[in-house]
Amino acid sequence: MSSPRYSPREIEPKWQGRWEESGIYRAQEDPSKEKFYCLEMFPYPSGDLHMGHMRNYAIGDAYARFLRMKGYNVLYPMGYDAFGLPAENAAITRKVNPAKWTRQSIERMISVQKRMGLSYDWQRTLATCEPEYYHWNQWIFLKFMEKGLAYRRAAPVNWCPSCGTVLANEQVENGGCWRCSSQVEKKDLEQWFLKITEYADELLNDLDTLENWPERVKVMQRNWIGRSEGAEIEFPVVGSDTVIPTFTTRPDTVFGITYMVMAAEHPMLPQLVAGTENEEGVLDFARRVLKKSAIERADDTRDKEGIDTGRRFINPVNGQEFPILVADYVVMGYGTGAVMGVPAHDQRDFEFARKYGLPVTVVIQDETGKLTGDTMDCAYVGDGPMVNSGPFDGRRNREAMADFVSYLEANNWGRGAVSYRLRDWLISRQRYWGTPIPIVYCDVCGTVPVPEEDLPVILPHDVQFTGEGNPLETSPTFVHTSCPKCSGPARRETDTMDTFIDSSYYYFRYTDPAYEKGPFDPEKGAYWMPVDQYIGGIEHAILHLLYARFFTKGLRDLGLTEVDEPFTRLLTQGMVIKNGAKMSKSMGNVVPADEMMERYGADTARLFILFASPPEKELDWSDQGVEGSFRFLNRVFRLVMESRELLEEADAEEDKDDDRVRSLRHSVNRTVKKVTEDIEKRFQFNTAISAIMELVNDFQRFKADGGLEIPGGRSVAGEAVRAIILLLSPFGPHLAEELWEATGQPYSVARQPWPDYDPELATTRTVEIVVQVNGKVRARFDASPESSREELEDAALQIPRIREYLEESELVKLVVVPGKLVSLVVR
């Protein structure tokens, strides 16, 4: 007689089919139930699903299943971030249509996701490359435009010569393209921007309300927004009516200015030196500087280089004249591109001044009171009384700061100002595979938005992929159109939108993916939003999460929603690493998800990836140990199948006096408590799973020890079987369904209430008390958890080994921690 074998190959498709037929994972608005919106960051459909994806979905699905069993009305959708470069590159190199390529990739992703047994509401699936979706990109863009949140201007942009496109500041990494690492160049183009800076303060302040976001993500966003308070001061150029504006965070040091440096790319520079004898040399220097990368220029350890323009400016506070220089360590784009040089109180300025023999004027004294510009060997950046500062002499610099700003304002030399590192979001892309920007250029009417009723502006198919320039410009049907205002001949905008726009509001769209009158039905949005739990890679800590927060605030101000923040809780899953690098196609270190499922089944793969490491931690991939997860599921299968009739006997009459029965009942209750808390409070799936393993071990031992023959043994065994199946169901849903059915329970295990525990039974009846002598464990004994200090002390002092210590030396101190230990100090 052979017993049935655990066969994921048969079990898994069976239940996947059953789930699909019965539609048990569909989400429906139900105001009588508490909702929970659980969401994973949607993937780019490259076609291959690797371990990074698998980890993401295993976490989200386990959590969503847990919440359903906990009684929440759960929304758990999936979609595809389908616009982007890979599809377009495939079109260029392999001559395939990007739409077709993308749709095929999506199909492949879906089939693997279904094979994983993920409990998505598949009816809500969306793909951002479909007109029904990007329609709303365009609609939101137009609404933002009406509000002044979208605008067009010529701007020096980051240009990647290799990708042939403009990049947002956020997409420039170490001076190179985020995608191909080519050196980024500066180029002037007419571009569309979204005014994210309008929300800079709110984006910054609301971070404080996000209590359930990882601190490090908030820190990164704070730094990215980079708010600094200070003053903007205008310096008149000698012999001209130009003024150069500068921003400083240290207005208290303005009396210590001895020079000014401008960035090599400062737009005023050519005009400033025009016609002077230094013109040639300065512009030459500037060109040389611009060839260096941003990191090189900002490197503090490197020697700074500069050149005198020959022009001078007046420091308005004391009327003195100082030189204007150009230097490599000042970068345009932060502040105003011109920096006042205060060498006495800024280390970079100090080094620069010493190198070029510029004067150093102390305006804040240290505690010695003896600082002088000629003798100091590094800048003094601390606080102290102000000196050489006219009316401010003698005041503490920090306290005088605000008055100093008022002083500047009163004399019309400058004003208090706040500066942000955050720039407006450049969204124009000279690319085909993206959302067309709904704008028409008419010689007569100028820039004309496409009327709302003409949306969506459909991305045309009659384009040429040559690998050069924007393919959209090759579409005859697209480019030439008529002006919506005057009906005269007009040209369409051929730039498309940054794909980060697609992912900035997709979570709203899931609440109502087929809605035709707007991005989503505000009522449905109001029911489901905000996302209660968002799960995704730490690599999106800045870009995507900041843009999504901005969009939410923008949509709120359009009256579409009342939520201020889209994601209440955020879990940043650690990256899956292989051979020292993030798993990615370009690195060639991808481990496909279906490979492991082929060998062991979806349940094993899911269980293993969750068991291998806590979710937030980076996971260096190795399949060492998968066997263990597979063996565990086999053991569960065997154990339950052998005793499948037991579940029916759960909760029968119990015999409280047998130790083995009591111990297993304790184990069941303790495990339910631990698994529940590990999932709910700590997101520690790895320890939740290990707790289930312990329960299975206990149950197995119980059976081996003849526990089923004891009065009450079958009842508690039934409780154990039930707990094992239910606790396992979020991690190995197919096996759990199979076992639930085999034990005679009605479909579906996914609809069962999550098991409860008895807090009294979850705690032990005896605890082991440790006896320490001078900090070292010298004995142990068992006691009731309720034992008093005196009882424990007495018991400890009775132990012969401990008495020996006391005979030899004198007891100096005795500490008793009830339920834990007795600690003796002897001398």
The site for RNA (CB under 7 A) is made up of: 170, 173-174, 215-216, 219-220, 223-224, 294-295, 298-301, 331, 421, 538-539, 541-542, 611-614, 617-620, 622, 624-625, 627-629, 631-632, 634-635, 674, 677, 684, 686-687, 689-690, 693-694, 697, 700-701, 704, 767-768, 770, 772, 774-778, 780, 813, 815, 817, 820-821, 823, 825
Secondary structure letter of residue 770 according to DSSP: E
Give the C-alpha distances (Å, rounded to integers) separating 792 from 337, 359, 767, 768, 809.
Answer: 72, 76, 12, 11, 21
- How far is residue 80 from each of residues 45, 542, 572, measured CA to CA in Å? 6, 20, 19
96 vs 220, beta carbon nearer RNA: 220
Q: How far is the CB of 175 from RNA (least distance, A)?
A: 9
Q: Assign 375 to helix, strand or coil.
A: coil
Of residues 71 and 382, the one with the C-beta less far from RNA: 382
Nearer to RNA, 656 or 681 (CB): 681
DSSP string, 546-603: HHHHHHHHHHHHTTS---S-SEEEEEEEPPEEETTEE--TTTT---BHHHHHHHH-HH
Helix runs in 451-497, H state only: 476-479
User: Is-contact 358 259, C-beta < 8 A?
Assistant: yes
Handedness of CA 383, 387, 392, 394 (dihedral sign): positive
Closer of 595 and 623 to RNA (Cβ): 623
In order, the DSSP letters of 122-152 are: GGG-EETTSHHHHHHHHHHHHHHHHTT-EEE
Q: Toward RNA, which CB reaches closer, 6 or 285? A: 6
Rg (C-alpha) for the chain, rounded Å, is 34
Measured in degrees and rounded to the nearest 5, phi and psi for residue 753 equal -70, 145
Nearest to 814 by CA among 774, 765, 784, 781: 774
Residue 15 in contact with residue 737, Cβ under 8 Å?
yes
CA dist., res. 298 & res. 331, Å (int): 8
Smallest separation (angstroms) from RNA to the CB of 279: 28
Residue 229 CB, nearest approach to RNA (Å): 17
Answer for the pair 170, 475: CB distance below 8 angstroms, yes or no.
no
C-beta of 74 vs 342, nearer to RNA: 342
Provide the pairing of β-strand 35-40 with 531-537.
Answer: parallel
Q: What is the DSSP code (8-state) at residue 436?
A: B
**Minimum Å distance from CB 592 to RNA?**
20
Considering the complex, what minimum distance in angstroms separates the CB of residue 563 from RNA? 26
- CB burial readout 263-297, b (16+ within 10 A) else e: bbbbebbeebbeeeebeebbbebbeebeebeeeeb
Q: How far is the CB of 794 from RNA (least distance, A)?
A: 18
Give the whole-angstrom CA distance, residue 567 versus residue 549: 8
Shortest Å, Cβ 218 to RNA:
10
End-to-end distance of the chain based on CA atoms, in angstroms?
69
Nearest approach, Cβ of residue 629 and RNA (Å): 7
What tokens appear for 173 in the block?
């990494």
Between 486 and 817, whose beta carbon lies closer to RNA? 817
Q: Which is closer to RNA, CB of 27 or CB of 596?
A: 596
By beta-carbon proximity to RNA, the closer residue of 416 and 574 is 574
How far apart are CB 382 and RNA at their closest, in Å? 15
773 DSSP β-pair partners: 776, 824
Nearer to RNA, 511 or 629 (CB): 629
Which CB, 249 or 613, lies closer to RNA? Answer: 613
Residue with Cβ nearer RNA (389 or 572): 572
